[in-house]
Amino acid sequence: MNEAVITLSAQLVRQFQISPKTAVITVAAGQAEASARLFVAPAVPGGFRLNHALRQMLHISRIAGLRIRYDSTRKQLRLGPFVGILTLRLPLPGATSGKTSFAAELLYLARLSSKMRGRFFLFRPEDINRGARMVRGWQLTPEGWWQGQTLPLPDVIYDRIPSRRVALRPEMRAFRRSLAEYPTLQYFNAAYLNKWTVYRQLSAVETLHPYLPETVLFNQENLTRMLEKYPVLFAKPAEGSQGRGIIRIERRAEGLRYTLYRGGKYTGRAGTAGELLKKTRRARRGWHYILQQGIPLIRYNGCHFDIRVILQRNGEGEWKLSKRFARVARPGSNVANLSSGGRVEPYRTLINHLLHGNTERISAMDSTMRHFCTAVAEVLAESACFGEFGMDLGLAPNDCLWLIEVNSKPRKTTETAMSRSIVRNTFRYPLAYASFLSGFPAP
């Protein structure tokens, strides 16, 4: 029989409030849809059953692990969730490049998602067949190898493209635009953040002003003006990351002293703002820069540090502070990024040391941090769909927090001295949020 058929239990029909007179109904899986004959049975294992013809139309080889709901707006039954994790290449299953590598992240996501209800899979841009509304999705087998199968285009895409440079390529921009034609497809964490855009968004909210260093575009006029106000400035690539390309500028009696962090640490001197721009022109070539007020931050055992906060949406769509730790710079360095030689220190160890174990101050700091980071996330999420942020915070005297930077694609380690549940949650939250976006909240 070539007719598509779906069989529902009488209990589900009542639960979904489907009219008993309904003979034909639309069934959707991800972005695939098909009309099917509706049969009702007193009892069906799992509540529903699809015949072979319907499974073929929806690109579903098996229904085990799938859930079903009724979309009363579209008058259709939906199976799912189907969640695609977008990346550039599949990591080698036996990759030994380290527990903090991006390959390890993807492998951890794949293993964790295999234990969740629904279809979670990795895919690459070239795996998509938009005309047929299907994708070649990749899942890890119990033996640890990648198995490809034809699946419907997903309900939700979790973007894990690891390179800003690749994400900004014209073909990747075109790829993301092409997916906008599917009204039920949700796409989150697609965009890398621009520091200047972020500052303008956040500075429009008056309650956030006390946490934001003054920031302007980097040019001679602004540099001259900012040097009159602040003894230390930081020039940063608006679309940079990992501390690359940062220029620390210090005003001294004899002129300007600058330190450039790009593939190493280089120092130089300049008599005027114009001369500094000329001397750093080559290093800045191809990048748009912002100029930021230098904050007199406190130090940890004589070293600069920042506090990295990972904020993520959970299975109810709520923002949760899932992880935080300190990044401590090498002695003599102003950059705490791990890629620049910084090291990780547990947040509790650092904050107890700096606040001398004062429980009242620590509690107030924790509360301020949670409320501020959540407010930042809510503002930035007004312009695009984000499921997680990495925020770098500085700590000044009098327990004042300052926002140094926000990252929309924070790296997540699979191995840490922290609780294993914390590590697991930082990977599970985005998957649970994807289920929430699909209309199938994680049970």
**What does each of the 443 residues of the chain score in pLDDT, given as a tens digit?**
589 999 999 999 999 999 989 999 999 999 999 999 999 999 999 999 999 999 999 999 999 999 999 999 999 999 999 999 999 999 876 654 445 578 888 999 999 999 999 999 999 999 999 888 899 999 998 888 899 999 999 999 999 998 888 888 899 999 999 998 898 899 999 889 999 999 999 999 999 999 999 999 999 999 999 999 999 999 999 987 767 889 999 999 889 999 998 777 889 999 999 999 999 998 888 789 999 999 999 999 888 899 999 999 999 999 999 999 999 988 877 666 666 667 888 999 999 999 999 999 999 999 999 999 999 999 999 999 999 999 999 999 989 999 999 999 888 776 655 567 788 889 999 999 999 999 998 76
Q: Which residues pair with 381 in a beta bridge?
A: none
| CA–CA gap between residue 408 and residue 384 (Å, rounded) | 11
In the chain, which residues fall in CATH 3.30.1490?
Answer: 214-293
CA dist 418 to 122, 341, 423, Å? 27, 21, 7
For 5-80, CATH gives 2.40.40.20
For position 98, what pLDDT does the model report?
47
Looking at domain 195-199+204-209+297-408, does it have CATH number 3.90.230.10?
A: no
Domain ranges in the chain with CATH number 3.40.50: 83-188
State how far the Cα of 305 lies from the Cα of 334, in Å rounded to an integer: 8
From the list 210, 253, 256, the residue with the least C-alpha distance to 233 is: 256
At position 205, the amino acid (one-letter code) is V
φ, ψ dihedrals at 83, nearest 5°? -125, 120
| Intervals of CATH 3.30.470.20 along the chain | 195-199+204-209+297-408
**pLDDT recorded at residue 338:** 66
Q: What interhelical angle do 220-229 and 273-284 show, nearest 10?
A: 120
Q: What is the pLDDT of residue 264?
A: 76
- Looking at residue 333, its pLDDT comes to 72
Q: How far apart are CA 392 and CA 192, in angstroms?
A: 16
Tokens of 391: 């925020």
Partners of 249 in the beta sheet? Answer: 233, 258
d(CA 431, CA 165): 25
Other C-beta atoms closer than 10 Å to the C-beta of 1 total: 8
| Cis, peptide link before residue 346, omega less than 30° from 0 | no
Q: CA dist 243 to 25, 102, 194, 405, Å?
A: 55, 18, 14, 10
345 contacts 395 by C-beta, under 8 angstroms: no
User: How many Cα neighbours within 13 Å face the side chain of 346?
Assistant: 9
Q: What is the pLDDT of residue 1?
A: 56
Query: In which residue ranges of the chain is CATH 2.40.40.20 found?
Result: 5-80
Q: What is the CATH number of domain 83-188?
A: 3.40.50
Q: Between 3.30.1490, 3.20.20, 1.10.20, 3.10.580, what CATH number should domain 214-293 receive?
A: 3.30.1490
Rounded Cα gap, residues 402 and 377, in angstroms: 15
What's this model's pTM, rounded to 2 decimal places? 0.91
